[in-house]
Amino acid sequence: MTEVPIARRTLGVSFGPDKTATVQVWGPTATTVQLVLNTTGETLPLEPATNGCWHTTTRQLRPGDLYQIALDGRRLPDPASLAQPQGVHGPSQAFDPTVFSWTDQAWQNPDLDDYLFYELHTGTFSPEGTFAGVAARLDHLVDLGVNAIELMPVAQFPGDRNWGYDGVCPFAVQHSYGGAQGLQLLVDACHARGLAVVLDVVYNHMGPEGNYFSSYGPYFTNRHRTPWGDAINFDGPDSEGVRQYVIENVLMWFRDFHIDALRLDAVHAIRDESESHILRDIRLHVDQLMAQTGRQHYLVIESDQNETRFIKPLSEGGYGMDAQWNDEFHHALRVTAGGEQHGYYADYDGIKHLAKSYCDAYVYDGTYMPRRAKIVGTPTTDLPGRQFVVFSQNHDQIGNRMLGERPSQLVSEAMQRLMAGAVLTSSYLPMLFMGEEWSEQHPFLYFVSHSDPALIDAVRQGRQREFAAFQTAVPAPDPQAEATFQQSKLQWSLLGEMHHQTMFRYYKALIALRKTSVLRFPNRKNVLVTFHDDTQTLVLQRWHEHRRIACLMNFSRAVQPICLPVSDTPWQKRFDSADPIWGGPAAGPAQMPGDVEVLVQPESFLLYLNHADDL
């Protein structure tokens, strides 16, 4: 296992109690390494240390000072810089994250079972497009009822507009968002309001512009290929330096920024054939950190392989990740709701696969997937519901569409309410995407702000090629245009309009139901699902101890009779998405015996309980 210090960073610039700066750079191929003090122009030599590192201490570099690293005379940003105020090509800025005055000493990260995620993009969530803009709207999220905000990547990227997956300075916090201190202020404010903070991080590739890693050392290897080119070098010669770099980054977010959980992007593209996989080493180091600090942190992954080894505990030979995004639930739900069945949706058979996902999490769990023409996945037997995050929309599933349409632009308000109900009644951890709760009408488009003309042209052409098969006269929006970014911003003014306000109240009520009923227990074992393909109806039953719910879902456009399960006691209605108070056509019956049919309105659901404790 790669051994990395737990209590402090060793890479980049760090400051001791007496403000002496310690500078350490991994540069195994360099012959000379110098620290350049941009204020004075002075250069200070770094001395060779162990494992390809170069090291010095100095009192001439202070927090706030600009500096560069000169490798064999070539001046570059520090790859472990915490601040890049002049962008990815400019000098780095010294920053001491340990001096922040935290007020969250009493904060306790919620149990993972209780997480209700809310994914947001800092630049488009508010008019300001900053951490402060997010902080100013935390009361809205508290009122909504979620308890964990998930920030799309905030590591420094080229320009001021980007999803964040083109980051090239993993330790630096995007300057236009408010920088490192701005992020600390946001996390502290979230904790004061009872909100956990999840940060999206990218360890499967680096962005193209401002990528100076290869100048420092073998950060990449051609032994493996990824959709972005050569893989990050986790298992080749000199890979220990790369592994240390990533592990230190993980520990920094938890230790120095008080982040509660990380969402690791596309871990299926992390290629590592080492005896101890990098994810396993991350798990071991995070466990050590938690033992030292007493704080709880979670590791959530994105993977499209349906391989349970990622989320199985170390004791069972897994990598020990706490949870993963379950895209297959989304795909099955989207097709069931009337979405298209081309591209990766072609593998999903609507309501049949939605029923399977309710029970088994994965749709393909050791079965043949036509699009990949092979057996995909492994069964999720005995893995708890808290290990799967489900959603009806997220940044990928919206933004990777040519026009970035949200479900609010594709389906009726009734179907939006039903899709929300399908997510929040599941035995998994639910996640919303920003603006979903009021039926935001703006799209969420793909946008960048590169400075390299050739790269800009390549991105534009790539988007056009990606959607060339679509029979439409509408061109793909220009990712580089500021208008594309502005069009993706949330319209908070919509909350002042009646039907958007009604949708917000609907989400509030549904989330409150999730938190105060059987639904709050993500127990996959206590789930029973039946469905009828011909009527596009599904019955989800869940129970905890003596309490039981039955959720009757009608995905068709006609009223459908659905039979309530057999019950010794009457079923009491607890929630009705077709109730006129939500803008629906008619309310369902308030109380019904078991084993009788209930007429369920089109594109709606009825939720019944059969124990008075839940009423």
Catalytic, 597? Answer: no
Q: Which of 96, 200, 265, 365 is catalytic?
A: 265
CA dihedral 577, 578, 579, 580 (to 10 degrees): 130
Q: Is 598 known as a binding-site position?
A: no
List where CATH 3.20.20.80 sits in the chain. Answer: 116-471+484-511
Residue range 526-614 forms a domain whose CATH class is mainly beta
Higher pLDDT, 472 or 427: 427
List CB contacts of 22: < 8 A, sequence separation 6 or more.
Answer: 13, 14, 15, 16, 55, 56, 57
142: buried, middle or exposed (CB in 10 Å: 19+, 13-18, 0-12)? middle
Q: Is 331 known as a binding-site position?
A: yes
Tell me the pLDDT tens digit for each residue of 531-580.
Answer: 999 999 999 999 999 899 999 999 999 999 999 999 999 999 999 999 99
Q: Confidence band (pLDDT; 50, 70, 90) for 472?
A: low
Catalytic, 534? Answer: no
Percentage of residues in the chain having pLDDT higher than 70: 98
Q: Is 396 known as a binding-site position?
A: yes
Name the CATH architecture for the domain at 12-98: Sandwich (2.60)
Q: Is 263 known as a binding-site position?
A: yes
Domain 116-471+484-511 has CATH 3.90.180.10: no
74 forms beta bridges with 71
Q: What is the mean pLDDT of residues 69-88?
A: 98
Q: What is the mean pLDDT of residues 15-25?
A: 96
Q: Is 327 known as a binding-site position?
A: yes
Task: Indicate yes or no: pTM above 0.95.
Answer: yes
- Taking every pair of Cα atoms in the chain, the longest distance, rounded to a whole number of angstroms, is 84
Q: How far apart are the first and last CA of the chain?
A: 52
421: buried, middle or exposed (CB in 10 Å: 19+, 13-18, 0-12)? buried
CA dihedral 342, 344, 350, 356 (to 10 degrees): 170
Residue among 257, 196, 152, 198 at smallest CA distance from 488: 152
Tell me the pLDDT tens digit for each residue of 308-361.
Answer: 999 999 999 999 999 999 999 999 999 999 988 888 899 999 999 999 999 999
Residue among 123, 132, 109 at smallest CA distance from 166: 123
Position of tokens 């996989």? Answer: 277
> Three-state DSSP class for 48?
strand
CA–CA gap between residue 531 and residue 554 (Å, rounded): 10
Q: Is 329 known as a binding-site position?
A: yes
List where CATH 2.60.40.10 sits in the chain. Answer: 12-98
Position of tokens 């039955």? Answer: 550
CA–CA gap between residue 104 and residue 121 (Å, rounded): 24
Q: What is the mean pLDDT of residues 396-425?
A: 96
CA–CA gap between residue 378 and residue 213 (Å, rounded): 36
Which residue type is seen at 400? N
List CB contacts of 266: < 8 A, sequence separation 6 or more.
Answer: 202, 204, 302, 303, 304
Q: Which of 302, 322, 347, 576 is catalytic?
A: 302
44 forms beta bridges with 35
- pLDDT of residue 614 exceeding 70: no
Q: Is 264 known as a binding-site position?
A: yes
Tell me the pLDDT tens digit for each residue of 282-291.
Answer: 999 999 999 9
Position of tokens 């980049």? Answer: 12
Tell me the pLDDT tens digit for each residue of 436-463.
Answer: 999 999 999 999 999 999 999 999 988 8
Task: Give the helix ranges, DSSP H, for 145-212.
Answer: 179-192
List where CATH 2.60.40.1180 sits in the chain. Answer: 526-614
Q: Is 246 known as a binding-site position?
A: no
Strands 169-173 and 527-532: unpaired
| CA 513 to mean position of chain CA atoms | 24
Q: What is the mean pLDDT of residues 76-93?
A: 98
Tell me the pLDDT tens digit for each residue of 365-400.
Answer: 999 999 999 999 999 999 999 999 999 999 999 998
Tell me the pLDDT tens digit for each residue of 95-148.
Answer: 999 999 999 999 999 999 999 999 999 999 999 999 999 999 999 999 999 999
Q: Is 457 known as a binding-site position?
A: no
Q: Is 265 known as a binding-site position?
A: yes
